[in-house]
A and B are shown apart, each in its own frame.
Chain A
Amino acid sequence: MIMCAYPRVSQNHLMTGSDIAVLCANADPSEATATASALADRADELSPSHVESIAEVKTLLAEQSVDCVVSEYELADGTGFELFSHVRQVAPDTVCILFTDRTLEEIPREERGEVPIDYLHKDGSGPYRPLAARIEHSVRQRTHTAYPLPEDEPARLDALADYYPFDADEQDAFDQLAELAATFFDAPLAYIGLIDAHKQRFVASYGFDAIGAPAVESAPRQEGACTYTILEDDVMVVEDIREDPRVKSVETYQQLGIRWYAGAQLRTPTGHCIGTLCVLDTEPRSFSESQERHLRQFAARAMDQLELCRHLSASDSTASAPHDTGTEEGA
């Protein structure tokens, strides 16, 4: 999974909708349909669809987001474990539940894979109610993430929706701020990112093209130190990424040779942290208290800019909204 480089604001929607998108995979189309239908009958909030193969899931996940994948062991072109392995790569936060009438002893050890998943035995009576409850709990509580969530996560996401996406005309201001931060701290790399439910979306960056990083708009939350910065009370510094158990295995850092990280929070006037401004280096280094203070100031300026964008956006909305005639429609 490659992170960073030429970020441009994506128009993808934030995943804050209330319906839970569930994908039911089974080699037997009638079984897949039955599971999807049973789930739809048992919980209004579940929006199930069904597939028969891993290939279908790959296509679907490339086009849309899914909250939960429920799979039988046997699929048309592989096993449920192979499917979950793919899901964890492309959409790692997705709830994965193996729903099968096979016992563990009936599944060869070498086919079970290595990714942690949930499991529900499908007995003769078809435990769809427990399955529906398990899906709702896991998705609402986000229990399949590989990283901790901030305590104010729902409110934080609500706050983020006010700031993102913003008008592309404001992009230059963020680009200049990222470059200025990198120059000020004598660091080769810097970026500004907003963290939504599952991804970090890059608002601006500096220096990544110079080290050969491919251009991407976003990266999964588990693929970066910023996921941990938003949990902290203040600036987070990782003096040597290879020594920090939280981020040492992040593939992007390894591929790009990134060894040092310092990030400050973008905190809204209401107190919610919606993203970070950070600087990075390819060598381990330390960071003084005064440098932390300056990084905090850079982040505050980025937040000021986001606040300005929010006001401009609100003004535009007000200006373009139909005038209130004082008469209720249909009255």
Chain B
Amino acid sequence: MHADEDAPTTPNGSSNVLWTPTPDYETEEDGCLELLTPRDVTDGVSALVVTFRQTPEEVLTDWDRRPGVSRPRRLHFIGAENVAGYNSEQWPRDGENGTELVVEAVDDVADLATLGVRISSVLSEFEATGDEIVTYFGPISSLLETRELSDVFRFLHILTGRMQTVDANAYFHIDRDDYSEETMSTLKRLFEPIEAVETK
């Protein structure tokens, strides 16, 4: 896939999109990276990547190898220390290759209180810059493996509400095939329709 021609476009006016990977992408996160990088605009973009499956190094490597896709001005990673390979200590906090880079982590992905506070803090910082805010969160599956659906729903409900208050374009990744119809139909009500994300 060539990024310039085939990158997915964001639906107009939507703040929260439930993203499910399609076979078009080499890795599940590839599609979201393109969604997170608005075409031709990187200076005024702040990106928050909350990832429980990839390390920051893997994400940045994927980001840099994609033609026509630039890093945003500010890039903030939040992961979980109990996810394999995520070590926030090894990263600089004062920038890398022109990008203001921050990497941090919560101790446990099941700790939704801490995770929510961290994300809310970052969104407040981004909002103060006046930048366009883009966010990747996922996979939601990591939360559902450790917490009840009602807890995850409340967490995501608060989080999607926060995204609306800062006008963020947020993409929430879920592995659709792993979950029951009941789980999917419940979560989908928080988001713009999955079908709203199209390939150009």
Contacts and interface: CB of A to CB of B under 8 A. Distances in A.
B158 A118 contact: yes
A276 interface: no
B150 A222 contact: yes
A81 B153 contact: no
B182 A144 contact: no
B165 A133 contact: yes
A120 B161 contact: no
Given A104-B114, A104-B117, A116-B112, A137 B154 contact: no
A1 B96 CA distance: 51
Interface in B118-168: 118, 120-121, 124, 148-151, 153-155, 157-158, 160-162, 164-165
A119 interface: yes
B113 A112 contact: yes
Interface in B144-200: 148-151, 153-155, 157-158, 160-162, 164-165, 180, 182-183, 186, 189-190
Nearest to B120: A119
Contact of A109 (B114, B161, B164, B183): B114
Contact of B112 (A114, A143, A231): A114
Interface residues of B, number: 31
B62 interface: no
A116 B151 contact: yes
B179 to A, nearest CB: 8
A104 B120 CA distance: 11
Q: Give the secondary structure class of B's interface.
A: helix
Contact of A148 (B148, B153, B155, B158): B153
Contacts of A133: 165
Given A147-B150, A148-B190, A231-B189, A113 B165 contact: no
Contacts of A134: 165
Given A121-B124, A148-B190, A116 B164 contact: no
Interface residues of A, number: 34
Given A121-B121, A143-B157, 12 more contacts: A104-B118, A112-B114, A115-B112, A115-B113, A117-B113, A133-B165, A137-B161, A143-B161, A147-B150, A147-B153, A228-B186, A245-B148
27 contacts: A104-B117, A104-B118, A112-B117, A114-B112, A114-B113, A115-B113, A116-B151, A116-B154, A117-B117, A117-B158, A118-B116, A118-B120, A118-B158, A118-B161, A120-B120, A130-B124, A141-B161, A143-B157, A144-B157, A146-B150, A147-B186, A148-B189, A148-B190, A222-B150, A245-B148, A246-B150, A249-B150
Interface of B: 107, 111-114, 116-118, 120-121, 124, 148-151, 153-155, 157-158, 160-162, 164-165, 180, 182-183, 186, 189-190
The 7 closest A-B pairs by CB, nearest first: A143-B161, A148-B189, A146-B154, A116-B155, A119-B117, A146-B150, A245-B149
